[in-house]
Amino acid sequence: MMTIVRKIPAPVLTPLWRGRASLMPAPVQARGADGALISVSIAPEDLNDSARERLLDEILRVMPVPARCAMARGFWRSRFRPLVEAAYPGSLADCAQCDAPAPPLEAVVWQLADDPQIYGEHAGAWIVVDGTLANELTEPVASYEEAQRQADALNAADVHAEWYRHWFLLRWEGLDGPGENWIRDAA
C-alpha cells in the first residue's frame, strides 16, 4: 500500500541586501548557495502592499512545482504572508522605501491615435514615452525609426537603467536532507 507523506517545511526569509544586481557584493551573491536568492524591485512610490504581493509571487515562483501544485495557491499565500509582513512591516499604505532610487526610464515608442481632432497635424505620429506610458519624453516625429532612435538614446543615457531591488535569501527548514522532496511516496 502506498501512502503520501506531506512534508511542509518551514520557510525562512532573510533580508540580505538592497541595491542593484550589478553592484551586489560577492559575499551576498555567495549566500545564494544556501537557498533561493529572490528579489523585489522597489521604486520610491512603492507601498508595502505592492512589495508584499510581489514578494509573495517570488516565493511561489521558486517553490518546487510538486509542492506548489499539491495545495491551492491561496493556502501558500496565507502560509507565507507572515514572512512578507515581517519583511515589510507597518501599514499596507506605508512606503516600502521612500528614499529608493528612481526606477529605470524604460523609454518606449508610442504611436499617437490617427485622430486629427485630438492630435491635429501630429495625428498618427510617433512619440517616446516612459515605461509607465504616462509621460511623453519627446516631440512627435513622422517615422517609427526616428522615434526608436530617440528611445534608444534616452535609455542608453539613463543612469538608473537597472532596477533597485530588495534581496532576500529563502530557505526551507524541516527537510531531512538536501534535495529532499516536499511530497514523497512512502511504503
Pick the range with the lowest mean pLDDT from 35-44, 146-155, 178-187.
Answer: 178-187
Question: Are 86 and 23 members of one domain?
Answer: yes
Q: Is residue 2 part of a domain?
A: no
Angle in degrees, CA 184, 10, 68, rounded to 5: 50
**What's the domain count of the chain?**
2
The pLDDT value given to residue 186: 34
Q: What are φ and ψ of residue 85, in 5° steps? A: -70, -35
The predicted structure's pLDDT at residue 8 = 66
Same structural domain, 93 and 148: no
Which domain range does residue 12 map to?
7-99+164-175+179-183
Q: How far is CA 45 from CA 86, 118, 158, 159, in A?
A: 20, 31, 19, 18
Give yes or no: residues 149 and 170 share one domain. no
Return the number of other C-beta atoms located less than 10 Å from residue 175's C-beta.
14
Q: Please give the model's pTM, rounded to 2 decimal places.
A: 0.73
